[in-house]
Amino acid sequence: MEFKHKPVMLTECIEGLEIKLNGTYVDGTLGGAGHSKEIVKRLSEKGMLIGIDRDEEALKVAKNNLKEFSNVKYVHDNHDNIKNILKQFNINKVDGILLDLGVSSYQLDERNRGFSYLGENILDMRMDKTQELTAEIVINHYSEQELASIIYEYGEERFSRQIARNICKVREVHSIQTTKELTDIIEESIPKSKQKDGHPAKRTFQAIRIEVNNEIKPLYNTIKDCIECLGEGGRLCVITFHSLEDRAVKKAFIEAKGKCTCPGDLPYCVCGAESLGRIITKKTIIATREELEENSRSKSAKLRIFEKG
């Protein structure tokens, strides 16, 4: 299948990274290499790009899209393991890191992956097909309370309890195997009068996907690790699509920036506050009107940038 994925806020990310000709850069969410291609174009032969993705199919597409470049290293792994990945290449510090979080358009469009609530496909939703946990396991084996909590927290779905209750009722009769079965349960759980804000299954599918791929829990520590991996003046660009993602990134950035807690009347700092750098984006960068018209995925995107210093 063709990998159709338009990189979000491409210009803003490239400008934010301030790419050095001989620098070393990491794209922690390589995907179809939309962002990466623009990064590696700006590198000399002495420069290096490390592309990480947990989706093996995405890596295959990226290798093809970047076949003209010899200074790219491909890694099938999770960006949460960035410290170990760099250690494998004997790299201590890098000049820039990009994370474009969330699911790609390609993964949504490839129906047999089970990310989409459209059509009838197996409940999978794994970004990394080698992992054991699938959407089918979550839907059929998590408790009602766990399901309600996940759907509410990760999907911000107000009818989470009703959806979880009805999932459990159905699976008492038979296991839920397909995306259509799940979509039907969700549609029946939400009053028709409240099904006006997009597809009724959108929020629940997002929540299950986040749980399957553990997208939120490690993110705060991942951002801290990325900042530690930057060299002096190196930059971290992070695109988020979910309020919980953005909250984790913002918190990590603020802590990395450091804040003196000494009383204002002291002549100098005694609290030992340490700063790892500065936040470049005092306000999150959002997509331009032109991009919003061309790429619907950019609607909820927010870009934050941190500079090591």
CATH assignment of the domain containing 52: 3.40.50.150
- Residue 232 and residue 95 in one domain: yes
Report the mean per-residue pLDDT for the chain. 93
- Residue 186 and residue 266 in one domain: no
In a domain, 227, yes or no: yes
Domain of residue 93, residue span: 10-102+216-308
In a domain, 83, yes or no: yes
* % of residues, the chain, pLDDT over 90: 81
Question: Is 0.75 surpassed by the pTM of this model?
Answer: yes
Which amino acid, 85? I
Q: Residue 122: which CATH number?
A: 1.10.150.170
The angle subtended at Cα 144 by Cα 138 and Cα 148, nearest 5°, is 85
In a domain, 93, yes or no: yes
Domain boundary among 172, 192, 213: 213
- Residue 167 and residue 230 in one domain: no
Task: Give me the residues paired with residue 238 across strands.
Answer: 99, 304
In a domain, 96, yes or no: yes
Taking the C-alpha atoms of residue 60 and residue 129, their distance in angstroms, rounded to an integer, is 14
- Residue 111 and residue 98 in one domain: no
- Residue 120 and residue 202 in one domain: yes
In a domain, 3, yes or no: no
Q: Pick left, alpha or beta for residue 107 (phi over 0 → left; psi -120 to 50 → alpha; otherwise beta).
A: alpha
Q: Is the pLDDT of residue 157 over 80?
A: yes
- Residue 26 and residue 86 in one domain: yes
- Residue 26 and residue 125 in one domain: no
In a domain, 1, yes or no: no
* Region 233-256 average pLDDT: 96
Query: In this predicted structure, what is the pLDDT of residue 195?
Result: 83
Taking the C-alpha atoms of residue 221 and residue 252, their distance in angstroms, rounded to an integer, is 8
- Residue 16 and residue 139 in one domain: no
Pairing of strands 72-76, 48-53: parallel
- Residue 157 and residue 204 in one domain: yes
Q: Count the domains in the chain.
A: 2
Query: In this predicted structure, what is the pLDDT of residue 33?
Result: 93
- Residue 97 and residue 225 in one domain: yes
Between residues 264 and 282, which one has the greater pLDDT?
282
In a domain, 2, yes or no: no
In a domain, 5, yes or no: no
For residue 52, name the pLDDT band (cuts at 50, 70, 90).
very high
* Region 196-206 average pLDDT: 91
151-160, 232-241, 291-300: least confidently modelled range: 291-300
Domain boundary among 168, 189, 213: 213
- Residue 141 and residue 176 in one domain: yes
Domain boundary among 187, 213, 239: 213
- Residue 198 and residue 114 in one domain: yes
Taking the C-alpha atoms of residue 283 and residue 304, their distance in angstroms, rounded to an integer, is 8
Q: Is the pLDDT of residue 154 over 60?
A: yes
